Chain A
Amino acid sequence: MKRSQQAHVPIHKLAGIAVLLAGVLLVATLCFGAPADPSQIPNIFRPQSTPANSILHLSALVLAITALIFVVVFSLLVYAVAKFRKRDEDDGREPAQVYGSNQVELAWTVIPTLIVLVLFLATARVIHSIQDAPKPLGAIEVIAIGHQFWWEFRYPALGVVAANELHVPVSNPSNPTPTFLTLLSVDTDHSFWVPRLAGKTDLIPNRVNHTWIDPQETGLYLGQCAQYCGTQHAKMLLRVYVDSPEKFEQWAQEQRKPAIINDAVEAGRQVFETTACVNCHAVSGTVADGRFGPDLTHLMSRDTIASGAAPNTRENLRAWIQNPDTIKPGSLMPAMQLNDRDLDALTDYLMTLR
Chain B
Amino acid sequence: MSTRSNSRLTSWRGIVLALAAASTLAGCATGPNPRDPYEKFNRKMFAFNDAVDRAALKPAASAYKQVLPTFVQTGVSNFFGNLSDLWTGVNNLMQGKGADGLSDLTRFSLNSTFGLAGLLDIGSEAGLPKHNEDFGQTLGAWGVAPGPYLMLPLLGPSTVRDALVVPVDIAADPWAYKHPVGWRNFGTAVRAVDQRAAVLDASNLMEEAALDRYEFIRDGFLQRRLSRITDNGEQKIKFRKNIKKDDAPAGAKSIKAAYPDDPGATVPAGAAPASTPSSAPAPAAAVPSDAQNIRAAYTDDPGPTDTASEVRQWAAAPAMSSKPASK
| A and B found bound together | no
**Which residues of chain A have a CB within 8 Å of any CB of chain B?**
none
- Chain B interfacial positions (CB closer than 8 Å to A): none
